[in-house]
Amino acid sequence: MSGGAPFARRTSYDTYRQLGLTPEEEAQAVDEFKALVKESYLDMGGDMEAAQLLATRLFAFDWGLSAFAQAPEGTVLKHPVEKVYPGLEGAGHDYIRGDVESFLEARDIKAARWYLTPNEKTGRDRKKAWMDDQGYGPRMTLAYDDDTGRQHVVTDSYQADIRGPRLKQTEAYNRALENEAAQYGFEDPVAAAREKLAGVAMPVPRASPKPLGRELAGSAPGMPDRQIGSGG
């Protein structure tokens, strides 16, 4: 009896299957990790176990899996979307999908599937800043497959809007706070906080009284107090 693929289950063993898209990228990843281990070994005072843990965390700052790139499942890439664009609370990177789809729709591009893959510009941009002065993130290559399966490259300088979605999320969060405060009869969260504090008596520490002679004369600790009066 032969065991077939239809009975195979998804397993975490297949989460990471390869480093990079090419042998050159794999060699780059290995070299970078070795360099990080060497640096971390010095930083951690010669503790190899701690150095390897630190190097792994530093390596994961740039390298990781991507749900956006044109790469086989389980491929670890350098500077994928998930590493160079921040995730929003509760929404992750969904705003990237919306941004790309709006971009394609505005240009009347009908994509059966699209991809956002890092290129040589991505890492350079990220080192400078996580978004430019207009609020857009690092440049990446945007490509798509049409209905026939043919692939097209739209641009190698695609930038998703970061500032806009972040501001919208902040505004939504503030509105939620205002609504919550309104349930208690307050106009805004600041007023609610002030009202709560108004009814709380804040204890004020009182200074311990000093002997009259020390207070006026300012004698140093450990020295006998000088008496105020006629000296003999």
Write out pLDDT tens, residues 164-178. Answer: 999 988 888 788 777
Count of domains forming the chain: 3
CA gap 143, 145 in Å, rounded? 7
CA distances 15 to 58, 65, 178, Å, are 19, 9, 43
Is residue 135 a part of any domain in this protein?
A: yes
Domain that includes residue 32, residue range: 15-64
pLDDT on residue 89: 83
- Residue 76 forms part of a structural domain: no
Q: Is residue 69 part of a domain?
A: no
Lowest-confidence pick of 44-48, 130-134, 201-205: 201-205
| 0.75 exceeded by pTM | no
Per-residue pLDDT band for 91 (boundaries 50, 70, 90) equals confident
Q: Which whole number is the average pLDDT over 21-27?
A: 94
Q: Which two tokens stand for residue 107?
A: 């240009």
- Any idea which of 36-45, 172-181, 195-204 has the lowest mean pLDDT? 195-204
Same domain, 96 and 156: yes
Of 37-46, 162-171, 179-188, 213-222, the poorest mean pLDDT is in: 213-222
Residue 126 belongs to some domain of the structure: yes
- Tell me, yes or no, whether 87 and 152 share the same domain: yes
Lowest mean pLDDT among 60-64, 91-95, 171-175, 225-229: 225-229
Indicate if 170 and 152 belong to the same structural domain: no
Residue 188 pLDDT exceeds 70: no
Average predicted confidence (pLDDT) for the chain: 83
Of the candidate ranges 110-119, 129-138, 173-182, 221-230, the one whose mean pLDDT is the lowest: 221-230
* Residue 45 included in any domain: yes
What's the CA gap between 67 and 157, in Å, rounded? 19
Same domain, 146 and 172: no
Is 229 within a domain?
no
| Alpha carbon distance 141, 124 (integer Å) | 14
pLDDT on residue 227: 43
Q: What is the pLDDT of residue 212?
A: 47
CA terminus-to-terminus distance, the chain: 117
Please tell me the predicted confidence (pLDDT) of residue 229.
42
Residues 156 and 170 in one domain: no
What pLDDT was estimated at residue 11? 75
